[in-house]
Amino acid sequence: GACSPEEPPQHDAEVVVRYVNANDRTVEGLDLVGRPAFTVQFHPEACPGPHDAAPLFTRFRSMVDAHLHGGEA
């Protein structure tokens, strides 16, 4: 199912809506507050520009590196 930023899903964890679909206003990306986790519900590698997805992959890599070295990103 889809959810909108105006009516986010009910859950125990605190999340921040990061990406919203411009056409139908459904949520396409979330950050889990206080944890090294985020999600996107689209294919970032298919973005129109050659470098549009780079920040997502950089962020993910930073989280992995921090975890491997005992910290959180």
* pLDDT (average), residues 29-37: 92
* Mean model confidence pLDDT for the chain: 83
* pLDDT for position 47: 64
Read off the pLDDT of residues 41-71 as tens digits, 9 standing for 90 and up. 887 777 677 677 888 889 999 999 999 998 7
**pTM (two decimals):** 0.67
Note the pLDDT of residue 32. 93
- Domain ranges in the chain are 15-68
Residue 33 backbone phi and psi in degrees, to 5: -65, 130
Q: Is the pLDDT of residue 73 over 60?
A: no
Q: How is the chain split among helix, strand and coil, in percent rounded to 5?
A: 25, 25, 50
